[in-house]
Amino acid sequence: MKNFKFTKMHTLGNNYIYVNMFKEYIAEEMLTSIAVNVSNIHTGIGSDGLILICPSEEADVKMRIFNNDGSEAENCGNGLRCVAKYVYENKLVNKDKFTIETLSGVVKAQVYIKDDSVLKVTINLGKPKLRKRDIPMLGMDQCQVVAEPMIFDGNTYISTLVSMGNPHIIFYVEDINQAPLSALGSIVENDYRFPMGINVGFVQVLSEREINYRVWERGSGVTQACGTGACAAVVASILNNYLGKNTLIKVHLAGGDLNVIWSEQEAVLMTGCANTICEGTFYY
């Protein structure tokens, strides 16, 4: 029987199984089934997916993320913060600022240390992508979608699209607790206009510096938090003139809070915690 060592980590309740591929080996053809199996709450470990921490030729380390349905995703803001914590505390890097390669490109990480432990992490996700071709969405590929009416399941929703290396659609609601996460999430995620699928987010604007955000994640369903989604929500809210650029925004998610800023230099920076839950061995 084969096995590998794992670490289970979470940020704001968004939890993944992390595997140090500097030490472990999982055959490429097994990754999809392994992601499904480790994520299973009844017969596996239970998680929102699987994240591999790998060597990189372009950055200090590389992150690969698999959703709990086995599909590979381009990026994960919460996953990046946990990867940053893991690689620093396990001495895969020896500096507090370093780079992480993702399927959507290389991002910058900064860890904040106390007594050799990482207390919080800032991820610089770079510039958001706003054209239809970048989401991707079918249609005129140079256009942006900001406050555009779109029909889903026979109803019209005012929609804004943002890519933070992975695709997000943002809707606005008056009460976040009434957001139709489960009722609408799967329908929008699998809509034919989004050939790669899409993450579905709902925003309630509380003030010029504060929003509530809930998310249906592509390939995983309802989760407690989504880092790239929180960033997409801030960008969308600035595009819709609810918030201001270069202002620190507090994003309230089901699992806790993130601080996000879209700077005048166009980069989106996200700061929040990262936590280790447990370590163990998975047999397959």
For residues 146 and 160, the answer to whether their CB atoms sit within 8 Å is yes
Strands 210-217 and 199-207: antiparallel
Closest CA to 86 of 4, 34, 5, 9: 9
Strand, helix or coil at 236?
Answer: helix
Q: Which of 82, 143, 226, 273 is catalytic?
A: 226
Strands 61-67 and 97-102: parallel
* Active site annotation includes 76: yes
Q: Respond yes or no on whether the N-terminal peptide bond of residue 195 is cis (omega within 30° of 0).
A: no
* Active site annotation includes 278: no
For residues 167 and 199, the answer to whether their CB atoms sit within 8 Å is yes
Q: Which run of H or E residues covers position 31? A: helix 31-39
Residue 259 CB partners (closer than 8 Å, separation 6+)? 248, 249, 250, 251, 270, 271, 272
Per residue, the 3-state secondary structure of 110-160, as one string, reads EEEEECCEEEEEEEECCCCECEHHHCCCCCCCCCECCCEEEEECCEEEEEE
23: phi then psi, degrees, rounded to nearest 5: -115, -30
For residues 222 and 186, the answer to whether their CB atoms sit within 8 Å is no
Q: Which of 76, 82, 231, 273 is catalytic?
A: 76
**Catalytic residue set:** 76, 226
